Amino acid sequence: MQNVFESLPPAPLADLLLRGVCSRCILRFFNVRDTGLRHCISNSSELFFQLRPVLVRVMGEERLNGIQEKVNLEQVSKACKPDGGLPSQTMPRICIVCLGILQLYLQDNVHSADDTDTRKSPVISEVTKTVQKEGHKFDSFCLEISIPALTFVREHALWCYLNSRYSSEGLFKGADVNERIVPLKESLKHLLVRPLEQLWNASFDPNSTFRVALFYKHTNSSAELSFLDGLQGSCSKLGCQGKSKCNNVSKATIGATRENLEYGESLSFVQRSLPSIPLHKFSDHFPWPPPKLDAPCTMTTRCFCRALYVGGRYLKFSRNISQSPWMIDDERKGKSSVQEIIGEKVLLLFKADGYKFHAAGREDIDVRMLGNGRPFLLEITNARVIPTQSELTQVEASLNIIKGEWVKVKGLRHAGIEVFDVMREGEAEKQKEYAAVVWLSRPVSDADFEKLSSLKELKIEQKTPVRVLHRRSLLTRPRIIHWMSCEKIPGSTQYFLLFLCSQAGTYIKEFVHGDLGRTYPNIRSLLDCEAEIWQLDVVGVNMEFV
């Protein structure tokens, strides 16, 4: 492994080592993506002593000592502590660039000289503990890493120094550090992925639904980033936020505010604004060598499963169950809901935290959903297990045999997020079929049936029904009744069964009674008598679904 280092330009290598840049960051700065990276000693002082004979041989003792003295001098003057002595005492233990993130053994202040075996590192065990505690079952995973913005600033500061010192030798040229070095996150993933794969017997997959998040934080962040407040132009955004908050909150919360910023927009903000400072001016803003570190980054972990989707169609045989829980002034309307009856069962199967219910449209509480059923999609949040299709089918069967249960499910299966669009489209565009029991103020005649069934693609104008006008805007919507057909109800003279197929979004009850003439034409106006709707059922939602 040491060979990699022996092939690097000796002067900057020695310089970096003596300044306390960890071996992994050194390789990053030389743009080396080496798969053996995991197995090298990270600590710069250890590595320096191992490499010293080689460095002496290549560049001569005199030049090496010169570099060492210069570095010592800078660091001593900086720390105002004139106790030069051996390099191992002045050389920082924590990498000045990655703040210890790539020195996996530094976590929890556990330090081992031998950190070549990353599998035993506290980072790996910490992450594994989190995953075990949450109890997810998975065969692939993805890492989501969040690092302090400070690491970008320090990378930039180091790059500025290297550029000024070595660009004449053809090294570290170019203004944009991000394009020249291996990103910290990439190196960290590199270190963690293989050991985790082996330990968890799962494969790393950027598209995996199982996400393991690592949050790195550093206490120096807010203090060291404060220089950004003073910058003008593109940096004013952060400055404004910082200042306006400073004015009316206590000092303690300012730190917290900045820490919050660190995880979100400010990270990309810092990355964007750093190139706006010319390389040779950067040290005016941020000191070189950078401030001494007393502690490495702290790390917290979290793991979760991305939303999973289960689709199917539901039928509702009750006129007392709504699609979603319906609360009016904390009082429940209806005895249960389709959403809860299906959702709670599926939730248990996935051992999930929660679910959201989406359906292709909805029917009123007093309307049954019959026929081929209405497509729905359950969005399952943070599932611990992903059941097999046969397990889903079992749940479907168990839902359907509950005695006295008014909700049935068909075709329960795993679905992709793309089904969402299919369903939204179904809600807005697909035809719906209904069966309505209609009463007329006079006996029903064959002429009525002929009249209604002769109307094809009937255009109607529907003003927002009074019953929903409190929450929807007042509009006149054109709608189409594609066809109607009528059946006698044996034993009744003034009632008949009206089958009709309409465009999505048509209010059927209003089409029958007219809603004070606000839906026109309507059954009342078409048959020239009073008409009322006794009951309504949805008998078909005409769409292909999963």
Partner 1 sequence: MENLEGTNASEEESLESLLYPAPHELPLRPLPAIKCNYTHHFALNVMGKDRHDQYVYRHANGLCIIGLAPTHVVLHPTPSVIGVDFNVGKQSRVEMKACGKRKRNAHILESNSVLCKVMTSDQFFLIRCCVKGVLLEVNEQLVTSPFLLNNQASTEGYVAIMMPKPEDWSKAEKALLTREQYIAERGLSLHA
Return the residues of window 400-419 that contact partner 1 according to CB under 8 A: 406, 408
Q: Which of 137, 173, 413, 472 binds partner 1 (CB under 8 A)?
A: 472
How many residues bind partner 1 (CB under 8 A)? The answer is 43
What is the chain's alpha carbon radius of gyration, rounded to the nearest angstrom?
Answer: 35
517 binds partner 1 (CB under 8 A): yes
331 touches partner 1 by CB under 8 A: no
Q: Which stretch binds partner 1 (CB under 8 A): 135-143, 227-235, 289-297, 484-492?
A: 484-492
Give the span between the Cα atoms of 261 and 411, in whole angstroms: 45
Residue 494: Cβ within 10 Å count: 14
Taking CB under 8 A as the binding criterion, the range among 6-14, 98-106, 286-294, 433-441 that sits at the site for partner 1 is: 433-441
Query: What is the bridge-based pairing of β-strands 476-488 and 331-333?
Result: unpaired
Q: Is 154 exposed, middle or buried (0-12, 13-18, 19+ CB in 10 A)?
A: buried
From residue 358, alpha-carbon distances to 310, 319, 363, 422 in Å are 10, 20, 13, 12
Q: x-or-dash pattern for partner 1, window 366-395, by CB under 8 A?
A: --x-xx------------------------
Identify which of residues 59 and 365 has a Cβ nearer to partner 1 in the complex: 365
3-state secondary structure of 181: coil
CB-facing half-sphere around the CA of 457: CA atoms within 13 A: 0
Nearer to partner 1, 53 or 491 (CB): 491
Note the residue count of the chain.
Answer: 546
The answer to whether residue 537 forms part of the interface with partner 1 (CB under 8 A) is yes
Residue 323 Cα distances to 203, 317, 374, 499, 534, angstroms: 40, 12, 11, 23, 21
Is residue 365 a contact residue for partner 1 (CB under 8 A)? no
| Four-CA torsion 68, 74, 79, 81, nearest 10 degrees | 60
In the region spanning residues 271 to 330, those forming contacts with partner 1, defined by CB under 8 A, are 315, 317-320
When the beta carbons of 222 and 522 are compared against partner 1, the nearer one is 522
Pair of tokens at residue 388? 């097999």
Residue 155 interacting with partner 1 (CB under 8 A): no
Quote the least distance from Cβ 415 to partner 1, whole Å: 23
CA 49 to CA 87: how far, in whole Å?
Answer: 10
532 binds partner 1 (CB under 8 A): yes
Name the minimum Å distance from CB 316 to partner 1: 10
User: Treating both helix axes as pointing N-terminal to C-terminal, what angle do 61-79 and 44-59 enclose, rounded to 10 degrees?
Assistant: 140
- Residues with Cβ < 8 Å from 10, sequence gap 6 or more? 54, 55, 58, 59
495 is an interface residue for partner 1 by CB under 8 A: yes
Catalytic residue chosen out of the listed positions 34, 117, 229, 364: 364
How near is the Cβ of 337 to partner 1 at its closest, in Å? 16
Q: Is 364 a catalytic residue?
A: yes
Q: How far is the CB of 498 from partner 1 (least distance, A)?
A: 11
Give the range of 25-33, 104-112, 279-287, 535-543 binding partner 1 by CB under 8 A.
535-543
Binding flag, residue 470, partner 1 (CB under 8 A): yes
| Residue 449 binding partner 1, by CB under 8 A | no
SS3 readout for 501-523: EECCCCCHHHHHHCCCCCEECCH
Q: Is 489 in the site for partner 1 (CB under 8 A)?
A: yes
CB of 333 to partner 1, least distance (A): 11
Spatial neighbors of 123 by CB under 8 A, at least 6 apart, are 104, 107, 192, 214, 299
- For partner 1, the closer of residues 70 and 333 by Cβ is 333
- The runs of H, that is alpha helices, within 81-169 are 87-90, 122-134, 149-166
Query: What is the C-alpha separation between 101 and 94, in angstroms, rounded?
Result: 9
Alpha-helix residue ranges (DSSP H) falling in 264-313? 265-273, 282-285
When asked if residue 126 is in the footprint of partner 1 (CB under 8 A), the reply is: no
Question: Which one among 274, 515, 526, 543 touches partner 1, defined by CB under 8 A?
Answer: 515
Measured from the CB of residue 482, what is the shortest distance to partner 1 in angstroms? Answer: 19
Locus of tokens 């053996």: 36
Q: Which of 497, 521, 529, 542 binds partner 1 (CB under 8 A)?
A: 497
397 touches partner 1 (CB under 8 A): no
Closest to partner 1 by CB, 251 vs 471, is 471
Integer Cα distance of 311 and 342 in angstroms: 11
Closest distance of CB 181 from partner 1, Å:
52
Residue 53 binds to partner 1 (criterion: CB under 8 A): no
Q: What is the secondary structure of 21-36 as a DSSP string?
A: --HHHHHHHTT---GG
Minimum CB separation of residue 487 from partner 1 in Å reads: 8
Site for partner 1 in 72-101 (CB under 8 A): none
Q: Which residues are catalytic?
A: 364
Applying CB under 8 A, the residues found at the interface with partner 1 are 315, 317-320, 368, 370-371, 406, 408, 435, 437, 439, 463, 466-474, 489-492, 494-495, 497, 509, 513-517, 530, 532-535, 537, 539
